[in-house]
Amino acid sequence: EAGVTQFPSHSVIEKGQTVTLRCDPISGHDNLYWYRRVMGKEIKFLLHFVKESKQDESGMPNNRFLAERTGGTYSTLKVQPAELEDSGVYFCASSQEWGGSYEQYFGPGTRLTVT
Amino acid sequence: AQKVTQAQTEISVVEKEDVTLDCVYETRDTTYYLFWYKQPPSGELVFLIRRNSFDEQNEISGRYSWNFQKSTSSFNFTITASQVVDSAVYFCALSEVWVGGATNKLIFGTGTLLAVQP
């Protein structure tokens, strides 16, 4: 079974540009989460999808961040326009909603550098 | 508010030593889950263990063991006879439980970098 995949693995962009990160969850997982780790700090929650609906987006830092999950499969996280403080590693995770499987399975992350 | 504290930023040990990674949490919930994840140099977060708030039994899995104590709000992780391959960043995390039984967002600590020297 394929794990959570994320694309790209690295992205270097200039301040003011737009970047779109993609996450493909484990097949059949209704829950999809985005997290971010800024250098040396804790991994922070951004938002949570249940299928295509946003269950909790309390962690989204501001309106420059837009997450979508059309059709309840893969998700994208767009940053527009990017700022220096957006640099960090963006993780995606997925989990099954029902059936007792509570673990969140994480992807390898996308390292975003804004210069 | 929920919070996880990993006071140890970096730990360095020599191979075969035992090492304990500390985790202290804060929550007002009576039902919650605690987790440990490992982040090797390759970058992905690898799930190690989940423990619910009603189960205070310690758990052992090979060289890994976990000590959950509600009285001190701690969920410490011990690696026995450490190996070089254990070198990684280890994160402790807390999650509330929402209706439906599945966990919601994870609240992470800042992580502990473990370096095991040969």
B100 vs A: CB within 8 A: yes
Q: Where are the beta strands (DSSP E) in A25-87?
A: 31-37, 43-50, 53-56, 65-68, 75-79
Mean pLDDT of A82-103: 82
Is the four-CA dihedral B101, B104, B107, B108 of positive or negative sign? positive
Q: Where are the beta strands (DSSP E) in A51-99?
A: 53-56, 65-68, 75-79, 88-95
Q: In this predicted structure, what is the pLDDT of residue A101?
A: 45
Q: Report the length, in residues, of chain A.
A: 115
* Chain B residues touching residue A105 (CB < 8 angstroms): 47
pLDDT given at position A103: 81
CB contact under 8 A, B42 and A59: no
Predicted confidence pLDDT, tens digits, chain B (118 residues): 789 999 999 999 999 999 999 999 999 888 888 999 999 988 889 999 988 888 888 888 899 999 999 999 999 999 999 999 999 999 999 987 665 555 578 999 999 999 999 9
